[in-house]
Structure 1
């Protein structure tokens, strides 16, 4: 039992996929914590003498005033993959995090931990990364101690493979031998807590297994107990799809599509961490 945590951590994005795991880890490690969310119902079970649940909206700076009082470290998992509720990537990934950063600076917070994504700087031209990296720039220039965590894809993002596999076929671009190692939210939450004491400004991290897209496709089909049927499309089709959605749709539609199709075109291998396996996750989801 950890009773030495004198730090008070504020977590933003506590009701999201990763945020939920970070909230659980903070509670289990006996941190003094403030969990903020637009809807606090799902967080009520975490409330205790040392854990406060606060209703606030990071997109509305007036709701944030005073929330960082007494806080030593802020962890933000705030970000969207798909634009909804009329909010854009710039509204959430950049401006909402900037609102939180400004409040943290005002209250004298020492450290700010932000979860972005792998190779963000390389892919700044993608709509999702444009907003994330604009915030990373602001964080670097803030004067606060900071850590940018760059995970190599979440297990939850891999559900697209399961959705395809339901119909008995997986479609991949190129030869399907592109490798990467996505990470489970529970493992990534451990990394987020380790970042509190870390002296690094950037942590690049992936899951324990380096997998090809073919292997991930096979796992998804296996989870649905379907025969292995993977169809490989030429890479020009992928490029044409990206061009088409960028030309004829809004960023609400093309943002996540260009993100996934661009990152899956080449190897993205991060330092390995964690114990949770993708094939088990797939089986739990079916």
Structure 2
């Protein structure tokens, strides 16, 4: 759907809506409420443009039987997309704490019983705790622990270490990990990389860049991991570490993010990759 058609559809559809819609997106059954969540609006009105570079990268790199972790799953756009790729023999772990969004994520998992998805109804952070989650009135998908003083209201949610959830899920590896938790990425990833065995380090990571909100130097840690030598040839598949495309340090738009993704295709697809994603959920498509 073009932007003009999407705008017309919104003006016609929104006033008549009384609740979520059951639709088919990318051939996947989904329950969406686009009135209060920008992600759901984009999935309904412009699914072909939604995170296109990231979805194409995942499609190119993942195969049947692979394992994926979605930190900040929202209603499950990435989870559902990857679950379709990896099939019933693959594994998807979805992590989402925001109650109203979580309800639709649960529904989307239930609507697709052939997808192998493990759901954790909590946030990811440095320790097992209860923390305040700030929720915006116009964009429920932009809820944030890092910016708990913002938003229109707050709810207390459970937060768990990412490694604990990966271990509990009995994943043998992480072929891809996507994380978008509104400025709390450093608090989830730094403890993970410090504690996780190298065979659990993700081979592909799609990371929301939120340096202005991070309390620790996450990119610095990733750079240090890149420079660490692989301990053995046998562990090279996972311990060859993160081949990061950090030449684009100041990614400002999807266009530049797409360029980073295009660069990755010139490298050996078996090597770990970091895609730095700078999309902004608060800006409509």
What TM-score do the two structures reach when normalised by structure 2?
0.35
Q: Which structure ranks higher in relative contact order (CA pairs < 8 Å, sequence separation ≥ 6)?
A: 1
Report the structure, 1 or 2, having the larger helix content: 1
